Structure formats: structure tokens, C-alpha cells
Structure 1
Amino acid sequence: MILHNEMANAIRMLAADSVQTANSGHPGAPMGMAEMAVALWGEHLAHNPADPAWPNRDRFVLSNGHASMLVYALLHLTGYQLPMDELKRFRQLHSKTPGHPEAHITPGVETTTGPLGQGLANAVGMALAEKLMADHFNQDDFPVVDHYTYCFVGDGCLMEGISHEACSLAGALELGKLIVLYDSNGISIDGQITPWFGDDTAERFRAYGWHVIEGIDGHDVDAVSRAIASAKSTPTPSFLVCNTHIGAGSPNRVNTARAHGEPLGENELKLVREQLNWASAPFVIPEKIRQAWDNTAKGEKAQASWARMMHNYAKAHPDLYNEFNRRQTGELPDDFEAKAANHMAQTCQQAQTMATRKASQNCLNALAPDLPELLGGSADLTGSNLTNFTDCGAVRAGEKGGRHVNYGVREFAMAAIMNGLALHGGMRPYGGTFAVFSDYSRNAIRMSALMRLPVVHVLTHDSIGLGEDGPTHQPIEHAWSLRAIPDLDTWRPCDALETSVAWVCALRQRKRPSALLLSRQNLPAMVTEAAQQLGAFKGGYSLYQSEKFKVRVLLIATGSEVHVARIAANQLESQNIGVRIVSMPCTNLFDRQSQEYRAKVLMMERGDSVLRIAIEAGCTQGWWKYVGFKGDVMGIDTFGESGPAVELFQHFGLTTQHVVNRVLQRLEHNEPANTEVDDVTL
């Protein structure tokens, strides 16, 4: 008991001293959750500090990420490569101890948290990944995937609506290896939460189908440990209500909002040391306590035991063993490129008119059977998003083999759960909704980009082309809103082949998410030549160029507007005006190409002698960097309207005739034609 107290106080002092040194941070939550951490990390969590990526480790998620000093203290004390100097550099530029935990920066941090509630949803994804991987790989006497996902949450996480979305689904799927410990301290930034958070939280989780244990003294290590042991034996997810005091150990800040997000101050720190009977100087841990926390030997022993089992597993089930290792590395199967090339060749040959959402499903049907890690889903729009594929099967509680998740009307949770699936390893998740509803899931999409996770967001009904559902369902600003997220590739393909290119690029990515904006309406085949196909893999390329006339107009378009531009080119050529059409399905990828390539595609060597006009059924703001001040953009900078798609394109001025008229006006069409022919090669 005494050692438990000292172990907890080590966390308290490291948190308080680090925040004080940085003059910034949140000491209260780590101080309040210290005994919870001792119970979990000291007695239950299976992990190896020498190998933070050990596949069969238990996952720990700190959803209330402002309490980051809790996990940094734990990682340091248990033996991870996080030296004390990094704790002294808490919240400093380029330290391994940023203000909120960031995956891939700090060894041992499983996910980036800070936006409250998303860590909890990430944990649901990790637990789902564990279940699906276990269903696929575990054999008699070989439980090669057998671990728990633990998550600490605070009041703020549970106020966020995403907690309802994610935990409702977790209960329905009976994710029994998910254990959530609730730091119930009754305090948030604005003070006592009772006036604005009066939920019966325990009953709420019982209603989800969770195993709930209430009334746990969160400052009693043995009580918390017993609750965790009970939770590990239940077939449903568990919710442990741990009653704590924020800022425990601080005589004047305990149970106050001031403990939440500001340093305690030097005078209060002295009082904390006196109350805790902590004689050590800042950042000094007595050797007895350090040894009690060190998990190096225990972790190496646990991983070594698992490795011996894997050695025998390799002999008994070599194919599964090889697949397991491949999926852990994130590498695609050896024959992926050949099968992708074959599918694209067939798509070129068929040259069918179809909606790009249907082309996406065709691509999944061609590639998914040989990508067992690919896990699909939809936010209650499977028949519209077409995210299912032949014989994919549904993920259901008590059943094995499903590869498609019915997320229900839970866009935000779906995106955050997919992040958890990707973080776990061994899974490549994608999920669908309407493009306009990416607003619901935007912060989780942003988090997937921040964490550089290869998640695919399938966003259909990409424009006013969806028609009669009207402005509530018609995305206007969404394409550029998504393109603005760093490290996210946003695709808006013009036909079936570009859709396949988008999928292949998304699947090749190992450290970048993708968003695929796909049409509801049918689009004609536009891309057939191999050279054009290769150009699509660069995000933007010359789709068509006049052979008889020198180019005077360069039309840049995406999605359904590429066909509009192509027909406009024919009409302009009938008036002796040469045209180049640039299809730019992914501006993000195009922008990563060499300056030489981009300049050549956009004919920058011709300067302002070429009129550049961008055409897209969405807001215009992002296109000006490609067309220049003397160029033009045809788009929509208002909300949409309800009506048939054909009428809407006419109403918003995005038809072939509108394009032709705009070009003629800008060229002041009395100018004589130049019939000298350009070089059409790129």
C-alpha cells in the first residue's frame, strides 16, 4: 500500500513539476488519475518498453489528452526511451513531450489525443481491430492476437457527442476487450459540471450494453485493480466509474477548476511536497520507486513468450504467419500492382459511362478479395456510397469473417474509429458518407492527416449533380475545405479510370489519408490513353489538346466538369480556337510534383498569352493559384438549390455553352486566330 502511494505520488510530482517548468499545461487530471494509472500500468497492462510496436501489446489510450503528463510520466517511469530531459522540456519546440500526446512523436503513445472524445472512439477502433485480427489469425493453441484496449476518459470526453456514437456501436458489437476507466471528478474548465452535465452516466453505458462498475474509489489502487480484473472476464465492453479528486495532493487547488489548466505555482508546489511527504527535488525519482515502476524485464519476458508461440505458429500455419507479418508492416501483396494494372486496363478497354461511385465499387470488387486487411463501411448509406463489395460480409457481434461495418448514422465516430483501426495495425479501413456530411467527421479526418494514417474516406454525391435533395445535401465548399487539410489527398475523379487511379494511389499510401469525392450521376469515359493514365497518377495532366490550332485557352476541370470542358473544346475548335484540357483529379498530389512538370502542364512558359479557366461545381477560392490573376474560375460561391441536376447546372452556369461564352468574352473574340500548332507532348 505504501509503495502504491509513492508510485502514484511520483506521477503527481512529475506532472506538477513539468507543468511548472513549462509554465503551461494541465496538472490536475494527472494528479487525480495517479492511482488509476498505478492500478492499470502497475498490475495489468501488457507492454514492452523495449519494443513499443510489439503487435500483441495492450493498447492504452489517454482520451483526455490534456492530461498528457500522465502518460509521459508513465512512459518514462516504466522504461521507454523518454529520458527525464524530455519531461523537463514539456511543451517545448521539437520535444518528445508535446502539449497533447502525439502518436509517432513519443515512443509508447498509441494515438494523438486532445480533441475530447476522439481518443475514446480511437479505442473502439483498436478493440474492433483486435477482434477482427483475432478472428482471422487465431488458431487452436495459437492466440497470436490476444490483448486488451484500455482507455482513460474524463467528463469532457463524455460530454462530446462522439462518445455516444462510438460507445453505442461498441456495445452493439460486443467488444469485450475494451475497458474504459472514467475519471469522474466533477470538474471542467468552467467549474463544477453539475449544472450542465447531469447525465446518469452509468445508466447510459448500461443502455449501450456495457458492463458497468460504479462507485470505485479512484484513489484506491486495489479497488481499481479489482474492477479491471472483473472487466477482463466479461464478454462486453466495460465502463469503470472511478471517483477521483482533480488536483489530488494540492491543498488549495484540489477539487477546483484552477487545477485543470494552469501551473500550481511555486508556493503551492511546496505545500504539495509537504502534504505528500515528497522530499525529492524536482525531476528526481527515488531508486526504490523507479524500480517498482520499471516494466522492462516483465515486458521483455511477455514478448519473448509470444515470440516463441509465433515461432511454432509459423511452422503450423505458414501462410497465416506470412500474412500476419505483411499486414503488420503495411505492405501490399506482391501481386497488387499487377492486379491493379489489369483492372485499369479492363476499365480503359470497356470505357463505360457510369457514376464514379459505381466505378469505386467496381475497383473494390477487383482488388478487395486479395486485400484481406481492407475493411469497408458506411454511415448508413451503403447502398448510396457503394462501399460494399461482393461477398464482403457484415461485421456482427458473435460472428466471424465480416469485412464491412454498418456504422449507423455516426459519421464522426466512423472516421475516428477508422483512425483507431489504422493505428492498431494490420487493417486498412475505409468508410463512406455523403460529401456534404464530411463536415460531421471533419475533425477526425484532420486527425487522420495529423497522424499520417492511410485511411480512405469515400465521399459520394459530390456536387449539385445529386439534384433534388437540395442545398442541405449539395457540397459547395467541401472539396476545397478538404484540400486545405495538410497531408490529405483529396480526389475528384472524372471517370471510371481516374477513380481506379485514385483508389490505387490511396492504397499505395502508408502515411497519408485520402478522400475520394465521387459522383452520383453517370459520367462518360474520358481517359483512355496510357500516357494520360500515367498523368492521372501525378494528380493533374493534359487530358486533351488541339492538334490543328495553337492553344489559346487552357481549361482546368475536375469530376463531372471535365466532360463539360471536353465538349466546350470541340465547339471552340470549330471557331479556330486551340484548347488544352487539364484534368486535375487531385490538386494535393499535383502540387507535390516538380515545378517543371507543373509549369509544363499549365503551359506557364506561355505566360498570359494562354487564357486559363478552371471549372468546378463548387467554390472557386482555391483555383486562382492555377489560373492567375488574368485567368478565370467558373464555379459556385453560393449554396445550391433543389431541382433536377440538369436544370441546376444550367442555373449555376456550368454547361458547355456557358463555358464557350465565357471563353469568347474573355478572348474578345474579334482577335484573329493563330493557326500555329503547339507541341502536344508533356
Structure 2
Amino acid sequence: RPTFIRMRSVIANPAPHAMNTGASHGAALGAAEVEAIKQELDFPNEPFPVDENALRHARQHLAARGEQLQAEWTESFDKWAAENPEKKELFDRLFSRTLPRDYAADLPVWEPGDSLATRKASEAVLQVLGKTLPELWGGSADLAGSTNTIIKGEDSFGPESISTSTFKASPLGRNLHFGIREHAMGAILNGIALHGPTRPYGATFLQFADYMRPSVRLGALMGVDTYLVWTHDSIALGEDGPTHQPVEHLAALRAIPDLAVLRPADANETAAAWVAALEADPAPKAFAFTRQNVPVLEGTKEKAREGIRRGAYTLVEASTGTPELILIATGSEVQIAVEAAQIMEDRGTPTRVVSMPVMEWFLQQDRAYRDEILPPSVTARVSIEAGIAMPWHQFTGFAGRNVSIERFGASADYHTLYEKFGMTTERVIAIIDDMMAAEA
């Protein structure tokens, strides 16, 4: 059981003049105070003195003991490896951070006409990956049922004594119960990833990413290999209202260096997002998934796997091959871009739709690819995302427009909210018309 250790301390003890002062918290003690400390401790007034007896003990006895322990461990490990060749093969694969050749071969593929929430698509993907990747495990901050992050058929992690009628626990369980404590979940994920060699994931609503931001930031700083599943990714969450509806969160999370935010448009992009995240270099990856159903779009089955690796790709090409207008969108708003593009094509304006599920990865591409997807000569650009527009100006420029949400949400059903907040094809067309008129 946990042990609570309470220690009373005095800051800067035993510095005679700086001890128990606020100044000692943020300033160097100085040479005179360091000398006074050494006098207080009866240390010689020399820089970094080391007792000769202690040094001799460390170099001789401790080094020899370490060599002996290492030799004993190596002998034990070699014996285990010889007796367990399959486990040794898994050990080598995990510590080399390689994936099985066909680990993603059985991932589901969806067809245009299908419709499901990307959180549900992620759940389906997770079941397949759970079978082929024993190193993948995780849970949620008490939202497993809503975030769809349970690996079915697997035990919960913990001693068997905590088993209940709802879940069976075992020391090798792969479903983690983090409790309602998002910051702790993020910190625990960091610790698991730092230990290695497994791949941990943790889930909550996107709105609650705020609660775990310090641990997410620290994970990005350290380059840990964690997978953050954030669902209910927009005002389309619905009736819970603005306290639960993320508006500024995508922009704020994209501002964290070395954190990739993956917001797939449909089920096929969701599967591709998981694959791309697993195959990318070690660093935190965050998924933003919808609560509401979204249609499976034409072209994602063929293009998403490679497109997501590069951060953005042309989902719908202009009828002439050379666009006069580019619509850029992520997640659930890509369907709006596709609908708006068709209307503009019917009007005679060649329009390209760019799906940009991973803004950070697109910005890492070479200039040639970025210009291929967003030709500099095409300044008529509109971004569409159910969040604030702050990150999008770098892509749309001064001549472009941004369809966004610049205020907090409200309590209503998904369709009503998208209508009231202007996340509709009609508003996109109106903004395009305004932009075109300004350019004329």
C-alpha cells in the first residue's frame, strides 16, 4: 500500500545568512555564503573536495561490486534467453522499437457511405492493434466507455485482489484505470514510456487536456513515446455545454513544441493516424477524435495512409488539375469542405480540398511538397476547423479567410450548434464569395 512521507525542511539550510529567506529560492548564494556553509559543516574551504578514503572506496570496492553484479545478471539473462527463444525475440523487437512486419494488415477499411464517429473507428483499430502489438496498453481518466479505449478481452492492470464484478485485474493486465486525474495520467504515461519498452496510451475528453498540460509538455520536452487519445473534440460534444466543449484547445496544443496533434477526418484517416503515430519517431502524439458520427469520404481509403504521414494531402483535386481555390480542413470539418468544393465546381471555380490532419508534420515537409499541396500562386484559400483560427493564418495568408469558432460554445445538440456557430457549408460558401469579391 502507498506510504506517505512527510518531511519538514528549511530552505537553504544550513547557510547562516540565506537560510529561511525567500531570496535563497531564486538567487545564487555567492562565494562568501558558500564559504560560511563550509565553515558551518567543518568542510575544507576548497572547490569540490572529495575525501580520499571515500574516493578510494568508490573506485575499488563499488566498481568491483558493480562488475560482479553485471556479470551475474548477464549470466542469468543469457540462460533465460536460451530457454525462452520466443520471448527473447519479443524482447529484442521491443527494445529496438521495431514493429512486426504485418501488424497493421488486418486493420478495418471503411467505404464511402459508411458513417461513424472517429472515436468509434479508433476503438475498432485498437482491437486489432491490441492483438498484434502486446506492447500497446493504456486506459483513461475514468472515461473508458466514452473514449472507447478498452482493449476487449484483456484484464485490467493491478493485483488480482482489486478485481470486481465489472473487471478482472492481473499484474499483466493491459487496461489501466487512471482515475479522474488527468495530470497524474499524463505523468504516469511519461514514466511508463521512459522505463520502456512498451507503448502506453491515455484518454480523456479534449477539453480536459488542460488538466494534463504540464505533464504533456514535459513529455514533449523529454521526447517520450506516449499516445494521447482526446475525444469529443469540438462543440459537437453537444448538451454538456461550453465547460466541456473545446474551442481554443487545438491551437493551444499545437503550440507545444514536439507534440504532434492528429485530427482525422473519418474512419480511414483514423486508422491511418494510428499507423502513422506508431511508425513515427519517439515523441508524444495526440489524437483528436469526434463524438458525433462523420461520413467516410471518397478517397481516404486510398490516400490517407501516405497523406497523414506527410501531415496534409490533396483529398479532392480541382477539375482542371490546377485550382483557383483551395479549401483546407481537419477532422469533422473536412466533409464541409468537400461539400463546398462541389458547389464551387458547379459554379465553374476549380477547387481543391486539402485534408490537413497533422499540421506539425506538414510544416516539417520540404518546400517542394508544401508548394505542391498549397501552390503559392493560389492565394484564394479558406480554412475550416471548429476551433479558433489562430494557427491557420500561416496557411491562408492575408488574402485568405478562416471559418472558425472564436467564442465559447453552448448547450444544444450537435446540429443546432454547428448551425448557430456557422460550421456549415452555407457559411463557407458565403465566406468564399466575400473573399472572391474582395479580390475582384
1:492-641 correspondence to structure 2 within 5 Å: 492-526=263-297, 527-528=299-300, 530-547=302-319, 551-604=323-376, 606-608=377-379, 611-641=380-410
**1:317-362 CA distances to partner (integer Å, 9 max, x unpaired)?**
2222222233233332x32xx232442xx41458631100011111
Which residue of structure 2 aligns with residue 284 of structure 1? 49
1:80-99 correspondence to structure 2 within 5 Å: none
Aligned match for 1:322, one of 74, 79, 89:
89
What secondary structure is seen at the aligned counterpart in 2 of 1:360?
helix
Which residue of structure 1 aligns with residue 223 of structure 2? 452
Residues 262 and 297 (structure 1), Cα distance of their counterparts in 2 relative to 1, 3 Å cut = farther
Counterpart amino acid of residue 435 in structure 1: L
Which residue of structure 2 aligns with residue 358 of structure 1? 120
What secondary structure is seen at the aligned counterpart in 2 of 1:300?
helix
**1:199-237 CA distances to partner (integer Å, 9 max, x unpaired)?**
xxxxxxxxxxxxxxxxxxxxxxxxxxxxxxxxxxxxx34
Measure, in 1, the Cα distance between the counterparts of 2:65 and 2:112: 59
**1:531-550 CA distances to partner (integer Å, 9 max, x unpaired)?**
45422221101000232585
Q: Indicate the larger mover: 395-404 or 310-319.
A: 395-404
What secondary structure is seen at the aligned counterpart in 1 of 2:327?
strand
Measure, in 2, the Cα distance between the counterparts of 1:461 and 1:670: 37
- 8 A Cα contact 1:330 1:510, kept in partner: no
Which residue of structure 2 aligns with residue 28 of structure 1? none
1:435-474 correspondence to structure 2 within 5 Å: 435-474=206-245
Residues 389 and 470 (structure 1), Cα distance of their counterparts in 2 relative to 1, 3 Å cut = same
What secondary structure is seen at the aligned counterpart in 1 of 2:122?
helix
Residues 486 and 662 (structure 1), Cα distance of their counterparts in 2 relative to 1, 3 Å cut = same
What secondary structure is seen at the aligned counterpart in 2 of 1:580?
strand
**1:77-133 CA distances to partner (integer Å, 9 max, x unpaired)?**
xxxxxxxxxxxxxxxxxxxxxxxxxxxxxxxxxxxxxxxxxxxxxxxxxxxxxxxxx
Measure, in 2, the Cα distance between the counterparts of 1:487 and 1:284: 41
Residues 282 and 666 (structure 1), Cα distance of their counterparts in 2 relative to 1, 3 Å cut = same
What secondary structure is seen at the aligned counterpart in 2 of 1:547?
coil
What secondary structure is seen at the aligned counterpart in 2 of 1:339?
coil
Which residue of structure 2 aligns with residue 238 of structure 1? 3
Counterpart amino acid of residue 284 in structure 1: P
Measure, in 2, the Cα distance between the counterparts of 1:397 and 1:472: 36
Counterpart amino acid of residue 104 in structure 2: A
Measure, in 1, the Cα distance between the counterparts of 2:53 and 2:10: 26
Aligned match for 1:664, one of 427, 433, 437:
433
Counterpart amino acid of residue 514 in structure 1: K
TM-score norm. by structure 1 comes to 0.60
Which residue of structure 2 aligns with residue 43 of structure 1? none
- 8 A Cα contact 1:454 1:506, kept in partner: no
Measure, in 2, the Cα distance between the counterparts of 1:242 and 1:297: 35
Counterpart amino acid of residue 619 in structure 1: I
Which residue of structure 2 aligns with residue 427 of structure 1? 198
What secondary structure is seen at the aligned counterpart in 1 of 2:204?
strand
Offset at residue 511 of structure 1 (A): 2.0
Counterpart amino acid of residue 541 in structure 1: Y
**1:113-158 CA distances to partner (integer Å, 9 max, x unpaired)?**
xxxxxxxxxxxxxxxxxxxxxxxxxxxxxxxxxxxxxxxxxxxxxx
**1:441-494 CA distances to partner (integer Å, 9 max, x unpaired)?**
011111110000110110000001111111111100100111111101101100
What secondary structure is seen at the aligned counterpart in 2 of 1:445?
helix
Which residue of structure 2 aligns with residue 382 of structure 1? 144
Aligned match for 1:299, one of 66, 71, 75:
66
Aligned match for 1:367, one of 115, 129, 142:
129
1:13-162 correspondence to structure 2 within 5 Å: none
Offset at residue 634 of structure 1 (A): 0.6
Measure, in 1, the Cα distance between the counterparts of 2:26 and 2:320: 69
Measure, in 1, the Cα distance between the counterparts of 2:436 and 2:11: 69
Measure, in 2, the Cα distance between the counterparts of 1:563 and 1:452: 33
**1:282-301 CA distances to partner (integer Å, 9 max, x unpaired)?**
02323222234454333332
Which residue of structure 2 aligns with residue 120 of structure 1? none
Offset at residue 307 of structure 1 (A): 1.1
> What do you get for the CA RMSD once the two structures are aligned?
2.1
TM-score norm. by structure 2 comes to 0.91
Residues 256 and 658 (structure 1), Cα distance of their counterparts in 2 relative to 1, 3 Å cut = closer
Q: Indicate the larger mover: 370-379 or 582-591.
A: 370-379
Counterpart amino acid of residue 578 in structure 1: P
Residue identity (%): 39
2:250 paired with 1:250: no
Measure, in 2, the Cα distance between the counterparts of 1:555 and 1:434: 28
Measure, in 1, the Cα distance between the counterparts of 2:256 and 2:361: 13
Offset at residue 648 of structure 1 (A): 0.8
Offset at residue 588 of structure 1 (A): 0.4
Residues 581 and 253 (structure 1), Cα distance of their counterparts in 2 relative to 1, 3 Å cut = same
- 8 A Cα contact 2:326 2:378, kept in partner: no
Counterpart amino acid of residue 501 in structure 1: A
What secondary structure is seen at the aligned counterpart in 2 of 1:238?
coil
Q: Structure 1 unaligned runs (5+)? A: 1-235, 672-682
2:112 paired with 1:340: no
Residues 546 and 510 (structure 1), Cα distance of their counterparts in 2 relative to 1, 3 Å cut = closer
Offset at residue 400 of structure 1 (A): 2.7
Offset at residue 260 of structure 1 (A): 3.9
**1:642-675 CA distances to partner (integer Å, 9 max, x unpaired)?**
111111111111111111122122223997xxxx
Q: Structure 2 unaligned runs (5+)? A: 161-169
Measure, in 1, the Cα distance between the counterparts of 2:398 and 2:438: 20
Measure, in 1, the Cα distance between the counterparts of 2:85 and 2:321: 62
Which residue of structure 2 aligns with residue 44 of structure 1? none
Q: Indicate the larger mover: 321-330 or 460-469.
A: 321-330
- 8 A Cα contact 2:247 2:407, kept in partner: yes
Offset at residue 392 of structure 1 (A): 2.4
**1:351-383 CA distances to partner (integer Å, 9 max, x unpaired)?**
631100011111111111121111111001001
Matched residues, number: 428
Which residue of structure 2 aligns with residue 651 of structure 1? 420
